[in-house]
Structure 1
Amino acid sequence: MYRFLLTPRWWWINVFVVLAIPFCLFMGSWQLGRFESRVDSHRDQQTQADEARAATAQPLRDLLPVSTETSGRQATATGRYDTGHQLLVPDRDLDDRTGFYVLTLLRTDGGKALPVVRGWLPGDAGSTADTAKVPAPPSGQVTVTGALQASESSTSKGVRASGGLPQGQLGVISAATLVNLVPYGVYDAWITVTKSTGGLTAVPPAAAPNSGLDLKAFQNLGYTGEWFVFAGFVVFMWFRLFRREAETARDIALGITPEQPLGPDGARQKRSPAGAA
């Protein structure tokens, strides 16, 4: 009855099933591993963030380049604020309120400038009344302490395209954007000060890129389920085809062919032997 399994058609079906099921299980396990890695990374990042808040601040040069290990660490830098290039970063939310960051470039003794987010203010960066509340940066040489952050990208939370923004506003906090606005080099990093003054609210540091439970993490979890469903679907379809083929083979063995009409009871009528009355 099951000789149909040896036909070329079923050889190809069986080969496909034998290859598809392990592949789906492998991909599902891989996606699950990616999700678990992001969970572990998120847990490690939380631990590092707690340690960073309690750790002693270190010189900026000792923490560069920014990595998942140094992101959020307390860094210190000494220099003078460039009051001529103070920028506002619009549409940044804090405590469910919309406002803007106040960013000032610190010209360090090494020659490069360090973007410093001195704090956050509620309101609209394009409103004269709101921007009038921005305090002037300290004059003279200062030592700034804050949480080290990696340069933002177009996919970072809260960023917007810098094109079309009014003069004095910045959409993305990154060296690639700032070098087009100032006549000197800029560190590929920035810091958010630990304590703000002049009515500004300190901006809490963000998690390192690709270390939190973001949308990508839950996409990995969703893909895990999809691959396991695909594996189950392959098994289901194989058994369905096998059952249909087995029933057809059984009917043929009983002398019933698909072309025969159904009887009153819904069963196919047996073909009468040739020459029967």
Structure 2
Amino acid sequence: MYRFLLTPRWLAGILLALAAVAVCLWLGSWQLGRFKEKAAAQHAVPLPSAPPVPLSQILTPQQPLVGTDTAGRAVTTSGTYDTPNQLLVPNRTVEGVKGFYVLTPLRTSDGQAVAVVRGWAASSPTNARPPSPPSGHVTVTGRLHPSENSGRNGAVAGGLPPGQLGTLTPAALVNILPYAVHDGWVAADTAPTGLMSLASLQPQSGDGLNLRAFQSLGYTLEWFVFAGFVAFMGFRLARHEAEAAEDRALGLDLAASTPH
């Protein structure tokens, strides 16, 4: 009854359907892997217990980015604070309380700068007057954090007033500062009066289960549904062809039996 499946037309259709199912399953598996990566990024990076090392030993021309192996490392860096370009980073929650970071660029001897978060305050940055950083040459010890995802607070970053920053990324800082900034940021061990130190804050390896992560999960389901739909339609077409062949064998071909 299913001998028609061995005809060239049906063999070509079967191969095409199998290829389509394989592609859909591969794309679905790839999207599922993307979702798992986003879900894994939700977990905080443990704070290493190694003693502080110079930041220049971690961020090098060969390895300029903060990765999961360097996030949370205790580092030291020296330079002068760029007080006129101090920034406030709003909508930052610590222990369930919303507040803002106080970020002051530290100009280093290599001609670049590093973003130093000197502390956090549990209030709105509107009309806030954070303490000024010390003048002159200073040495800062703190914990290294990776740059935030560029999509964080992206909807409101463009509407922030002057002196505020939406995302802790070099790309966001380069639009404000007249010099280059290292990747990531340093949470200073000590904070001035009125601010809380973020040295014990565990760095995140990513933004975790955000909207984009669930979009990946949605695409995963879509590809698996497409694969199932192709298989189902192939089965239905083959079943319909087999029933038609059986009807013809029994002399029940409606077209042939219709009176003229």
TM bucket (normalised to shorter chain) is 0.7 to 0.9
1:173 match: 168
The alpha carbon displacement at 1:179 in A equals 4.1
Contact 1:93 1:158 in 2 (8 A): no
2:234 match: 238
Contact 2:103 2:117 in 1 (8 A): yes
Contact 1:192 1:205 in 2 (8 A): no
The whole-number CA distance in structure 2 between the counterparts of 1:213 and 1:163 is: 23
The alpha carbon displacement at 1:209 in A equals 4.0
Contact 1:154 1:160 in 2 (8 A): no
Gapped regions of structure 1 (runs ≥ 5):
261-270
2:71 match: 71
- Kindly tell me: are residues 87 and 224 of structure 1, through their superposed partners in 2, closer, same or farther at Cα, counting changes over 3 Å? closer
Matched residue SS, 1:167? coil
Larger relative contact order (Cα-Cα within 8 Å, sequence gap ≥ 6): 2
The alpha carbon displacement at 1:61 in A equals 0.3
138, 142, 146: which one aligns with 2:138: 142
Q: Deviations over 1:235-275 (max 9, x none)?
A: 22222222222112111211112358xxxxxxxxxx599xx
- Kindly tell me: are residues 220 and 173 of structure 1, through their superposed partners in 2, closer, same or farther at Cα, counting changes over 3 Å? closer
55, 59, 68: which one aligns with 1:60: 55
- Kindly tell me: are residues 184 and 235 of structure 1, through their superposed partners in 2, closer, same or farther at Cα, counting changes over 3 Å? closer
Matched, 1:253 2:249: yes
Q: Deviations over 1:44-71 (max 9, x none)?
A: x75xx3252x221111101102231222
2:184 match: 189
Q: Among the aligned pairs, what percent are the same residue? A: 49
- Kindly tell me: are residues 96 and 272 of structure 1, through their superposed partners in 2, closer, same or farther at Cα, counting changes over 3 Å? closer
The whole-number CA distance in structure 1 between the counterparts of 2:167 and 2:9 is: 58
- Kindly tell me: are residues 234 and 42 of structure 1, through their superposed partners in 2, closer, same or farther at Cα, counting changes over 3 Å? same
Normalised TM-score (structure 1) = 0.74
Contact 2:47 2:202 in 1 (8 A): no
Matched, 1:123 2:123: yes
1:85 match: 85
Contact 1:147 1:205 in 2 (8 A): no
Which structure would you say has the larger Rg?
A: 1
Matched residue SS, 1:14? helix
Which segment is superposed worse, 183-192 or 218-227?
218-227
Task: Report the aligned-residue RMSD.
Answer: 3.3
Matched residue SS, 1:50? coil
Q: Which amino acid counterpart does residue 239 of structure 2 have in structure 1?
A: R
Q: How do 1:201-240 residues align onto structure 2 when only pairs under 5 Å count?
A: 201-203=196-198, 204-209=201-206, 212=208, 214-240=210-236
Matched residue SS, 1:191? strand
Matched residue SS, 1:234? helix
- Kindly tell me: are residues 196 and 7 of structure 1, through their superposed partners in 2, closer, same or farther at Cα, counting changes over 3 Å? same
- Kindly tell me: are residues 194 and 205 of structure 1, through their superposed partners in 2, closer, same or farther at Cα, counting changes over 3 Å? farther
The whole-number CA distance in structure 1 between the counterparts of 2:258 and 2:93 is: 83
Contact 1:104 1:116 in 2 (8 A): yes
Contact 1:160 1:171 in 2 (8 A): no
Q: Which amino acid counterpart does residue 189 of structure 2 have in structure 1?
A: T
- Kindly tell me: are residues 76 and 16 of structure 1, through their superposed partners in 2, closer, same or farther at Cα, counting changes over 3 Å? same
1:98 match: 98
1:268 match: none
The whole-number CA distance in structure 2 between the counterparts of 1:51 and 1:195 is: 17
Matched residue SS, 2:231? helix
Matched residue SS, 1:250? helix
- Kindly tell me: are residues 248 and 175 of structure 1, through their superposed partners in 2, closer, same or farther at Cα, counting changes over 3 Å? closer
